[in-house]
Structure 1
């Protein structure tokens, strides 16, 4: 009887061990399935992890902190691309500002990629970044200037952008709208954003510098008036002095009740550029015309070319009248623009 009891206990113990082993095997099989390693077809490129990483512009490491700094760094590159590929510098700069967050975006800082150009058939270095989808592949450049060159090639080598190059180089509004029409961006407000940046920072002046005498301003003239775009630091008084008109006339022409201004605001300026004196002591202000000044005070952003056009003369005439040997000007410099009587 004891032998029978011992045999039964031994059999029960062996069955219990067998069950545990089966369970263990099953768990091990399940773990193997969930821990599969998926190898990327394109390995990740180390995009750098150091803090305050700087991007490279023309071989020099820089850290950009403002839009004005961005424009100062890239305007020359954008102008060179305009000369070579016919894309307005104003458009290229505005796209760079918008798409790279003025050079402060991750793709710009870590990959010198200012236009968000994806890999496609790219064989160079890459960076992975969340965009329309998770961890999309973007091109990585050794220098930001190559991002600008790739942007030029991107537009000139794709047939869907052919209509852009039928537009005048001065017509930045047309370029902004056609980029959206051609499918460059899905944002319906993309053209307005580019136009706003161009007018706020007067980026079209860089187009004018490239085109020179053939430049024709678009929508910068209304009847007997030209248009001035308010810049940072401008006041109603400084603008009135720049164009030799009174503050009161400037307000009256633009239907303004105060002297408050905003950057990018459009102001109408009398093309005749005559100095006026406003008489405000009477109920109805009258304006008396005075002989135009012989001198012009150089304002921010002005060039010999822009000043010569304003006074209907050539650059060489302006240089000769003022004894200038080159085109260099300083803000506040006095230039003679009319001969002595």
Structure 2
């Protein structure tokens, strides 16, 4: 499998508890193959930690580890603790081993522990621009992550995404992506019978709004459920909350188990210092490209922007701009009609 990697520095790693670290570094039994179940049990806590820090689904991390390392049984993983097939490239300054892959004697990174390999994998996905598009997906959207990894060139195998998805679903790894995921996984509850904690209500859009050509998006605001003191709403099928006084993306990210950088991306904010204002809509999953109601247009208010329209309708700012040929940040005149689908 051809997996092109650029080296990165392992920086800012938060140490795990000693029992976890010891478990992560424990070698496989001599003369025996580690099973999928043993592999998952040994490393799932590390995968969940990376999800909480970076927003990478724990299910994706586990599936890649299973696939790339053959459940820790491959020659590469045994000789170097490299469970994700990350190659050295020219800037790697750490330990290395040589292994036949697409070519003979290719250089691969070596790690002091499997835990370090997991950390490097998360840092790599987080730091490389070609994977930026993945972080707009929710940390429970493993299918989009799997397809995105393939599209971004993580591996050349044409069925790479399907193989990841199959592993996740066969092993019910998607349970790890949920709040209290390790407990859910341990109890082996089927994913379809476990409602999302903050998506668990029944959602229905008022039908009266669908018959109007020009639509008020507030007619499509539906309360889904309460989560840790926040009402969760849906517009255009996209879930959001209203920021409270003193809220930050870091606090909301902790409550909803979403990386703060992902919350900023979900809300089309490029400034890493940006914080929500009191009463502001904060989307907790990726917005859509098109309005899914019957209405086709929005009538602008004076001074409105594509960003404001997108936040009202659950649409990505770039999609609103593209649909209407707008310049980035362009201020709109009152009465102008914008296409929303």
TM-score by length of 1: 0.47
Please say which structure displays the higher CA radius of gyration.
1
The higher-RCO structure (CA 8 Å, 6+ apart) is 2
TM-score by length of 2: 0.47
